Amino acid sequence: MKQTTIFTLFLMLTTVSLTAQNSYMENPRMIPLLNSVAQERYVKRVEFEEGETLESKIHKAARVVPTQQQLNWQKLEMTAFIHFGINTFTGREWGDGSESPEVFNPANLDARQWVKTLKDGGMKMIILTAKHHDGFCLWPTKTTDHSVTSSPWKNGKGDVVKEVKEACDEFGMKFGVYLSPWDRNAGCYGNSPVYNQFFLDQLTELLTWYGEVDEVWFDGANGEGPNGKKQVYDWQAYYNKIEELQPNAVVAIMGEDVRWVGTETGYGRETEWSVTALAPGGTKEMTAINKKLGISAQSEDLGSRYLIRKADHLFWYPAEVDVSIRPGWFYHEEEDNRVKSLAKMTDIYFNSVGMNAVLLLNVPPDKRGLIHKNDSVRLKELKTYLDETFNHNLMQRAHFSSDIQSQTIPGDNIFGAAWKTQDIPAAAEANLNGAKTFNVILLQEDISKGQRVEQFKIEALIDNQWETITSSTTIGYKKLIRIPKTTASNIRLVIEKARDNAVISNFGLFLAPDMLSDPVILRDKTGKITIKTETEGPVITYTLDGTTPSPSSKIYSEPFMLEDGGTVKARAFINDFEEQSSVVTREFYMNKSNWSVVDKSDEHDNYPADNAIDGNDETMWHTEWGDNVASHPHHITVDMGEKIKLKGFYYTPRAGENKSGTIYKYSFFISKNGKKWKKIIDHGEFSNIANNPIRQTVAFQDTLKARYFKMVSHEGAYQEDWISAGEIGIINVK
């Protein structure tokens, strides 16, 4: 069904016939052709013929269009994720499935508060983790006892999915479900046919018990490792079931409609093609296509001409940027003060929605079953900031040159229906009706016609001189560019390179309010602390006793020493303390100036093990990599110079984009004399580190005393033989 309808080449070179209109009625996934001129469109997929020229391939690439479902989804722009479940109560990121449902008891759960808070933050859909990797179901499923039914919450009579869906309906919010294919609780996981049926039954319940579902999210995560259970998922059967029960839903990540952008940082690509050579979903056919091209959702290039030359197919497979408002996906009390700052959230908005993607922002409710105030305040601030930025389009009263105006139809955007260029390069020049000051540029392509622009620039008439003020590559559904404040009387959009005539549906100019950026707190190996802000001028105050910095706290004027570690909190102020940034907290542990590496399994010449204890996240220890290199276990043994009281340790993956060598499973030992060792953690895991490689802190059950520690790796996050580490250190008791 899905296979034969949505993937059907929909090629029409004649006027719209009755048949086409009828088939659209029957099948809403097809795009209707409304004008009576000759059209050529490929809905969601195009296949090339053997030996097809690049020119002909590019011609087709410009005509791959989204399904109606994909188009509707793209227009949502901002959507929300809710991670809630067993982990909310155990403090973990990945439960192992052995948790007792007894721990699940969100006494004050109020789904209306979630939905209202997210709506007030500008979100248009909510996707709920109906089941995460631990297998605990938030609805009273008939497939397993491992669900809300066995929990004390509402005496086993509760249903989180139902409450969220009802609240969504009440507030006019779209609704989606996250159902983890990887299940660490289900006894049948690994017995492929049995688990596939179990999973289909769960899917059926979710897609038939609650009404309309707009997005189904299939996570690709699986931490089983080479010796774990091997489940062969029947993706096609899952897709067929969704097509049958919720034909209007999009299926994301391991699904065929919406693509994972490739990181969990909140940042998309500057060149973000929705028309990709990357084949969607997890079926054998699609996996084989990607294998042949050597690409994955994480590849930098998914749609360039270079890739198209090699490709046999192209797909409409747009990006979704999933990121959490906090460091973790689930709520952890200790992260209450680590809610991302407004500056960071704004940055994420511009780098997701403004980079041709949909933002999926996770806001995890707490143990009470409520969204914490720190998160709801930040959401409101974000909404206010975006409204203040976008409410006034300085293009509104601009005049475009007459040849352009003649092609437009009045509408809700500056070009009306669209400005369709004739020949490339093409320029649209506007007189702004007096000098205007702006710092944000908005561009949109009418993607119902395809995505075509490959290179453009913006020029402005500043003091009677034309200057190029910015340039970039793709546009797609939406491109937002922030530039330094610029005052100009005329502005020009130049489409320099495109796959066909560009269809620009919006061109806007805005003035975003000034933003106070948060302080950044840094420490070097000796323990010297430096605090700075991105923007110039703010006064910074800080505290070392855990209290919140206020205007009367100590003013930061120069670097200071913090040898034994501690908590530094800082805040920036502008306008005579009238406006303040958020509070930034950094926890530092003892400095490492007396530490030395006494033993290591191996090290690459350029990345010695010493780098793991030099106090600098930017330098790393890396073991040899490539074929025939030493594999796990790798280890490092550190002498801390004296006996220290410790209550935990941390591991910081290497800095930068490349996270190769990140450790997933490890053991941790301590010793007083470097001879007799005590194993503190046996085969522990850094949950979700593959997707979110940030600092991992591990607390011990008791406070311990040791002079030496040893960390041993058992498995890498990306199934590699080698390992890497930015920093490894201990959490000391003072």
* Subset of 518-557 contacting ligand FUL (CB under 6 A): none
CB of 363 to ligand FUL, least distance (A): 13
- Determine which residue in the list 688, 696, 713, 724 makes contact with ligand FUL, applying CB under 6 A: 688
Minimum CB separation from ligand FUL for residue 250, in Å?
16
Q: How many CA atoms lie within 13 A of 625 on its CB side?
A: 14
β strands within 653-695, DSSP E: 663-671, 677-685
Q: 486 or 691, CB closer to ligand FUL?
A: 691
Which CB atom, from 322 or from 685, has the smaller least distance to ligand FUL?
322
* Cβ atoms of 152 and 105 closer than 8 Å: yes
- Least distance from ligand FUL to the Cβ atom of residue 693, Å: 12
> Which amino acid belongs to residue 704?
L
Closer to ligand FUL by Cβ: residue 437 or 719: 719
Q: Which two tokens stand for residue 95?
A: 């439960």
Q: Does 445 bind ligand FUL (CB under 6 A)?
A: no
End-to-end alpha-carbon separation of the chain, Å? 65
Helices (H), 342-466: 342-352, 373-390, 402-405
- Residue 732 CB neighbour total at 10 angstroms: 17
Distance CA 221, CA 81 (A): 16
Among 16, 200, 221, 515, binds ligand FUL (CB under 6 A): 221
The β-bridge partners of 319 are: 259, 357
Task: Name which of 178 and 595 has its Cβ closer to ligand FUL.
Answer: 178
SS3 of residue 151 by DSSP:
coil
* Residue 415 engages ligand FUL in binding (rule: CB under 6 A): no
Task: Select 362 or 506, whichever has its Cβ closest to ligand FUL.
Answer: 362
Measured from the CB of residue 235, what is the shortest distance to ligand FUL in angstroms? 16
Q: Does 335 bind ligand FUL (CB under 6 A)?
A: no
Nearer to ligand FUL, 512 or 690 (CB): 690
Q: Distance of alpha carbon 632 from its chain centroid, rounded?
A: 30
99, 205, 215, 219: which one contacts ligand FUL (CB under 6 A)?
A: 219
Of residues 10, 89, 239, 329, which one binds ligand FUL by CB under 6 A?
A: 329
Mention every residue, 6+ apart, whose C-beta is less than 8 A from residue 235.
254, 281, 282, 283
Q: What is the DSSP string of 276-306?
A: ESSPPSSSHHHHHHHHHHT--TT-S-SS-HH
Nearer CB in complex with ligand FUL: 219/375: 219
Long-range CB contact pairs, 241-245, < 8 A, 24+: 241/200, 241/203, 241/204, 241/207, 242/2, 242/203, 242/207, 242/216, 243/1, 243/2, 244/1, 245/203, 245/204, 245/207, 245/208
Nearest approach, Cβ of residue 287 and ligand FUL (Å):
18
Q: Smallest distance from the beta carbon of 93 to ligand FUL, in angstroms?
A: 6
Strand partners, 704: 646
Nearer to ligand FUL, 238 or 607 (CB): 238
Q: In what order do the strands lie in the sheet with 528-533?
A: 519-523, 528-533, 560-561
322 part of the interface to ligand FUL, by CB under 6 A = yes
Count the neighbouring beta carbons within 10 Å of the beta carbon of residue 509. 25
Tell me how far, at minimum, the Cβ of 261 lies from ligand FUL, in Å: 12
434 touches 480 (CB < 8 A):
no
273 and 324 in contact (C-beta within 8 Å)?
Answer: no
Considering beta carbons, is residue 580 or 692 the nearer one to ligand FUL?
692
Between 179 and 453, CB nearer to ligand FUL: 179
Per-residue binder mask for ligand FUL (CB under 6 A), 629-668, x = binder = ----------------------------------------
The residue (of 263 and 533) whose beta carbon lies closer to ligand FUL is 263
Nearer to ligand FUL, 221 or 515 (CB): 221
> Which of 93/715 has CB closer to ligand FUL?
93
Q: What are the start-end ranges of the H helices in 319-432?
A: 342-352, 373-390, 402-405
According to the 3-state scheme, what is the secondary structure of 700-720? Answer: EEEEEEEEEEEEEEEEECCCC
Of the pair 297, 418, the CB lying nearest ligand FUL is at 297
CB 277, min distance to ligand FUL, A? 23
Q: Count interface residues toward ligand FUL (CB under 6 A).
A: 8
Measured from the Cβ of residue 114, the count of other Cβ atoms closer than 10 Å reads 27
* Binding mask of the shown chain, residues 384 to 413, with x at each position contacting ligand FUL by CB under 6 A: ------------------------------
Of 171, 186, 95, 177, which is closest to residue 128 (Cα–Cα)?
177
Q: Of 514, 506, 484, give the one whose Cα is nearest residue 396.
A: 506
The identity of residue 732, as a single letter, is N
Pairing of strands 579-580, 566-574: antiparallel
How far, in Å, CA of 20 to CA of 569, rounded?
A: 64
- Minimum Å distance from CB 94 to ligand FUL? 6
- At closest approach, how far in Å is the CB of 34 from ligand FUL? 38
Give least dist CB 267 to ligand FUL, A. Answer: 15
Shortest separation between residue 242's beta carbon and ligand FUL, angstroms: 19
Give me the residue whose beta carbon is nearest to ligand FUL.
221
CA–CA gap between residue 7 and residue 3 (Å, rounded):
6
Q: Which is nearer to ligand FUL, 221 or 245 (CB)?
A: 221
Least gap, CB of 253 to ligand FUL (angstroms): 8
Under the criterion CB under 6 A, does residue 691 sit at the interface with ligand FUL? yes
What residues from 91 to 110 belong to the interface with ligand FUL (CB under 6 A)? 93-94
Where on the phi/psi map is residue 21: left (φ > 0), alpha (ψ -120 to 50), or beta? Answer: alpha
Q: Of the two residues 251 and 609, which places its CB atom closer to ligand FUL in the complex?
A: 251
Contact set with ligand FUL (CB under 6 A): 93-94, 219, 221, 322, 329, 688, 691
